């Protein structure tokens, strides 16, 4: 395992995931701005790429780490910050990613049956954007708890 590039105790993979997640969070804000400026095609592309890429990151980096380092400690160590934060991040992140994929399928394709398609896009998209950033903050907190040494000890 190679050392990270942020100067913390994290491995390179964790640092890369954090940087990519922050970039994706900013990317979603840019995508929202594109919608406000009525560039809907670019908006659709921007948000779709981010949601799908995030799914890849979750599958390749987050789930394996979670399975090894966190899952064996649930529920016994849920009282510990490092387990609680990671669990909350994983739970809320899963919901957010699923909601993002749902919007993607409902708004961008005709794969879903009409009954479960959404018509009011804006509230859904705004809610997912808020959730996304909440999950990002939880992810950052998880990173700090897992990889940043205590300053005062």
Partner 1 sequence: LAGTGDEEWHRHWVCLKAGSAGRNRFESGRNGGQHHENSNVSKNKQLKEKEEIMRRSVSIATFFAVAILGISALTAPPKNLAAATQEKTEAAEVKIDNFSFGPAELTVPAGTTVTWTNRDDIPHTVVSTDKVFKSKVLDTDEKFSFKFEKAGTYPYFCSIHPKMTGKVIVQ
Smallest gap, in angstroms, from Cβ of residue 96 to partner 1? 25
How many Å apart are CA 135 and CA 91, to the nearest integer? 9
Our CB check for partner 1 shows the closer of 117 and 145 to be 145
**Long-range CB pairs of 59-68, under 8 A, 24+ apart, other chains included:** 61/13, 61/17, 62/17, 62/90, 62/93, 65/14, 66/90
Smallest gap, in angstroms, from Cβ of residue 92 to partner 1? 22
Smallest gap, in angstroms, from Cβ of residue 153 to partner 1? 5
How many Å apart are CA 50 and CA 34, to the nearest integer? 14
Our CB check for partner 1 shows the closer of 5 and 130 to be 5
Contacts with partner 1 by CB under 8 A lie at 1-4, 8-11, 68-69, 72-73, 77, 80-82, 145-147, 149-150, 153
């Amino acid at each position: 395992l190679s050392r990270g590039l942020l100067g913390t105790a994290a491995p390179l993979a964790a640092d890369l995931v954090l940087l990519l997640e922050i970039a994706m969070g900013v990317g979603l804000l840019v995508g929202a701005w594109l919608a406000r400026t009525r560039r809907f095609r670019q908006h659709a592309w921007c948000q779709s790429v981010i949601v799908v890429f995030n799914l890849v990151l979750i599958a390749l980096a987050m789930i394996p780490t979670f399975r090894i380092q966190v899952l064996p400690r649930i529920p016994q160590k849920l009282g510990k910050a490092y387990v609680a934060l990671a669990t909350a991040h994983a739970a809320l992140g899963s919901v957010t990613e699923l909601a993002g994929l749902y919007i993607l399928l409902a708004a961008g394709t005709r794969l879903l049956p009409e009954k479960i398609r959404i018509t009011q896009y804006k509230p859904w998209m705004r809610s997912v954007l808020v959730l996304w950033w909440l999950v990002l903050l939880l992810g950052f907190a998880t990173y700090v708890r897992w990889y940043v040494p205590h300053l005062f000890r």
